[in-house]
């Protein structure tokens, strides 16, 4: 039984893997579809040409090379691959127990076999920013990955992108301790660097066989430029990169009151211009402070904030993107992959924004171009234009229509997803179909049996064998077992 189950999983993944890693056609033309490039006006009927993973031509009339594989996508919509800006789901667990862990890297925890990535593909999310969860003080390095590949290396689009910070208290802690931890971390960093500088100066002098000739103040000053990258230990290397400009900071602010301290922290240590603020539902109220800082924000998956008046008990609701949009801030939307509701679809989140009066263009950007900008990848991702990577989703209709599904997904020009070959989805839909059929059959049987009884029961055994989809009849058949396993997997 277990063996069979494992076997099935292996078979399944190999099929997917084979799909995604079949040698990509070097030239691919997606012809005749409605193109929504996001960066420019729509092309009602056009072609996207992808050569060696990069878009080389796009437009109504594109000269297709003779050796290109042409795929007809007429009646379909071509849309840039959507980007999940802030996800800790690809990790085996989102957080570390210790509060300050800048030496960690999500690389060590990314699970390529996680169903999360498969779901992302199915939902048209072709780039995922995998980052530590919010329950931390100062977390590890994040990484931008594509949801295909057998190893984290194969998946990686951009490694070591940002450090995760949380201005909101880690569980079991409070805001005093949270901020004290930050102060301690950066104070300790300064203390460490001073000592290191002194040591380095001493070392340099020792090379020239000289004794230290100045006071510690001066020695630290002179030693500071002598610090090499390899001198830094694990604990401090990434922190130095953060303060010196090689790493971005993604700072989580659960409540509005956390926004001010977060901005101050970033400003004080010189990474405000590389900070992205990830907001909780209540944090939008600090919109004035955010506006002053003028940094991009990632909105919470739950786009509506509900609040009760403490005196009257009246409930009021605020649609968060509306407030952020009015303030003119660059924002990205987050899906909620743990939700069984429609919130798990990024395009649904964007559609909700349009429904609340945000212009369609802004809503589309908030799931494609804006996260690409925040991740520093706007030259490769986020829109369909010449020079960008071939991250294309083929949709059955308008991206903001809820009846739309993903037909195909191309990652770097590789066909990474094909709905017709989506075994799991097929089984899921088949199951539904089958159960519907079963109902029908039962009804028919009832009628039949009634007539049969009248005809004095010809052969009751026959009806049993007919009942192929019925649970009892299915127990022995292989197929039935497969179905069951798959259901379990989905869960």
Partner 1 sequence: MKQVRLTARILLAATAMVWTSLVSDLSADSFAIRARRILPVAPDLPEVIEPGVLVVRDNRIAMIGSDIEVPLDLPVIDYPDGTLIPGLVAAVSDLGGNHPGDESIAAGYRAADTFDRYGNYAKFLAAGVTTVHINPGSHRLLTGQGAVVRLGGPAADRILRPAADLTINLGPDVYYPPQDVTYSFPASADVEIVPGRLQRPSSRMGQILGLEESIRDALAGKNFPEFSLHPPALAHAWNEKLPLRLRADRTGDLLAAIHFLREHERQGYLVGGAEADQVADPLRQANVPLVYQLPGRFRSPGSNIGRDPEAYGESILDFRKLDGVEIALAPSEAGSIGDLRLVAIRACGAGLDRARALAAITRGPARILGIADCVGSLAPGMDADFVVLSGDPLDLSAHVQRTYIRGCSVFEAPDQGPLIVKAGTIWAGPGMEWHDAQVLIEGGKIVDVGRSVPHPPFARVIDAGPNAFVMPGWIDSHSHLGLDGDKSQIGNEIRISQLIGVPDVTDLRVCRAGITTVLMAPYLGSGAGESTRTAMIVGGRIVLMTRPASPSGSAAPMGAPAAAVKTAGPRRKDRVIRDPAAVLLDVSQADPLSVQEMLAKPIDAGQKYLDSWTKYEKELKEFLEKKKDSKAATEDTKPVQEETKEMVQPDPITGTWEAVVTGGPLPAPVTLTLVMQLIGTNIEGRITHSSMGFTGRLHGTLTGNHISAVFEIDIPDITTPPQLEADLVAEDHCKGTVAVMGLSLPIEGRRVDKKPVELKVTQTRRTRTKDGRPLPPKVNEALEPLKNLLEKKIPAVVKVSTPAQIREVLDLFVDKHDLPLVLLDADGAAVHAERLAEKKVTVIVPPAVLQQRQYRDYHLADTLARQRVPIAFQSNAEDAARNLPAIVMYAVERGLDAEDALTALTAGAAKAMKIDDRVGTLEPGKDGDLVIFSSHPLQGPSRILRVIVCGEEVQP
* Sites of contact with partner 1 (CB under 8 A): 98, 172-180, 183-184, 187-188, 191, 234-235, 255-257, 260-261, 282, 285-286, 288-289, 309-312
Output 58 or 287, the one with its CB closest to partner 1: 287
Helix ranges (DSSP H) in 287-414: 287-293, 320-326, 346-355, 360-365, 369-374
**Least distance in angstroms from the C-beta of 352 to partner 1:** 24
Measured at the alpha carbon of residue 35, what is the angle toward residues 32 and 38, in degrees to the nearest 5?
A: 170
**Least distance in angstroms from the C-beta of 226 to partner 1:** 22
**Least distance in angstroms from the C-beta of 411 to partner 1:** 36
Report the distance separating Cα 154 and Cα 148, nearest Å.
8
Helices (H) then strands (E): counts for the chain: 16, 20
Half-sphere exposure of 305 (CA within 13 A, CB side): 20
Report the distance separating Cα 283 and Cα 168, nearest Å.
11
Output 71 or 179, the one with its CB closest to partner 1: 179
Report the distance separating Cα 41 and Cα 255, nearest Å.
38
**Least distance in angstroms from the C-beta of 4 to partner 1:** 41
Residue 214's φ and ψ, nearest 5 degrees, are -125, 170
H/E stretch holding 87: strand 82-87
Output 58 or 290, the one with its CB closest to partner 1: 290
Residue 100's φ and ψ, nearest 5 degrees, are -110, 110
Helix ranges (DSSP H) in 77-163: 115-122, 152-155
Output 233 or 443, the one with its CB closest to partner 1: 233
Output 178 or 383, the one with its CB closest to partner 1: 178
Report the distance separating Cα 366 and Cα 333, nearest Å.
6
Output 65 or 261, the one with its CB closest to partner 1: 261
Output 309 or 458, the one with its CB closest to partner 1: 309
Going 173 to 175 to 178 to 180, the CA torsion angle's sign is negative
Q: At which residue do the structure tokens 């926004």 appear?
A: 259
Output 41 or 172, the one with its CB closest to partner 1: 172
**Least distance in angstroms from the C-beta of 197 to partner 1:** 16
């Amino acid at each position: 039984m277990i063996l069979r189950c494992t076997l099935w999983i292996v078979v399944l993944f190999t099929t997917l893997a084979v799909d995604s890693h079949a040698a990509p056609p070097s030239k691919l033309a997606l012809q005749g579809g409605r193109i929504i490039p996001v960066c420019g006006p729509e092309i009602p009927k056009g072609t996207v040409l992808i050569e060696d993973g990069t878009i080389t031509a796009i437009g109504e009339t594109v000269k297709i090379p003779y050796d290109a594989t042409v795929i007809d996508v007429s009646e379909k919509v071509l849309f840039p691959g959507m980007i999940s800006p802030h996800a800790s789901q690809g990790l085996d667990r989102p957080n570390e127990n210790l509060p300050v862990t800048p030496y960690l890297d999500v690389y060590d925890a990314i699970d390529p076999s996680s169903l999360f990535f498969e779901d992302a593909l199915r939902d048209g999310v072709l780039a995922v920013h995998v980052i530590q969860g919010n329950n931390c003080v100062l977390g590890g390095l994040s990484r931008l990955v594509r949801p295909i590949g057998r190893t984290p290396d194969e998946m990686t689009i951009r490694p070591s992108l940002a450090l995760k910070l949380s201005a909101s208290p880690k569980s079991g802690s409070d805001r005093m301790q949270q901020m004290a931890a930050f102060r301690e971390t950066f104070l300790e960093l300064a203390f460490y660097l001073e000592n290191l500088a002194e040591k380095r100066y001493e070392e340099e002098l020792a090379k020239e066989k000289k004794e230290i000739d100045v006071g510690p103040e001066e020695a630290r000053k002179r030693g500071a430029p002598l610090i090499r990258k390899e001198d830094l230990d694990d604990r401090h290397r990434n922190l130095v990169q953060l303060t010196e400009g090689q790493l971005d900071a993604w700072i989580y602010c659960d409540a509005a009151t956390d926004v001010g301290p977060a901005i101050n922290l970033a400003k004080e240590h010189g990474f405000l211009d590389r900070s992205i603020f990830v907001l909780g539902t209540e944090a939008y109220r600090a919109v004035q402070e955010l506006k002053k800082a003028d940094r991009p924000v990632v909105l919470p998956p739950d786009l509506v904030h509900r609040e009760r008046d403490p005196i009257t008990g009246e409930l009021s609701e605020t649609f968060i993107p509306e407030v952020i949009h009015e303030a003119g801030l660059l924002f990205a939307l987050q899906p909620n992959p743990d939700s069984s509701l429609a919130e798990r679809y990024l395009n649904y989140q964007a559609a909700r924004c349009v429904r609340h009066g945000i212009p369609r263009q802004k809503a589309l950007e908030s799931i494609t171009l804006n996260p690409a900008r925040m991740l520093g990848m706007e030259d490769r991702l986020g829109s369909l234009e010449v020079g960008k990577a071939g991250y294309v989703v083929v949709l059955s209709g308008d991206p903001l229509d809820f009846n739309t599904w993903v037909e195909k997904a191309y990652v770097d020009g590789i066909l990474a997803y094909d709905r017709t070959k989506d075994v799991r989805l097929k089984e899921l839909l088949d199951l539904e179909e089958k159960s519907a059929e079963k109902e029908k059959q039962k009804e028919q049987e009832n009628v039949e049996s009634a007539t049969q009884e009248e005809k004095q029961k010809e052969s009751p055994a026959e009806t049993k064998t007919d009942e192929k989809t019925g649970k009892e009849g299915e127990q022995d058949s292989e197929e039935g077992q497969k179905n069951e396993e798959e259901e379990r997997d989905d869960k």
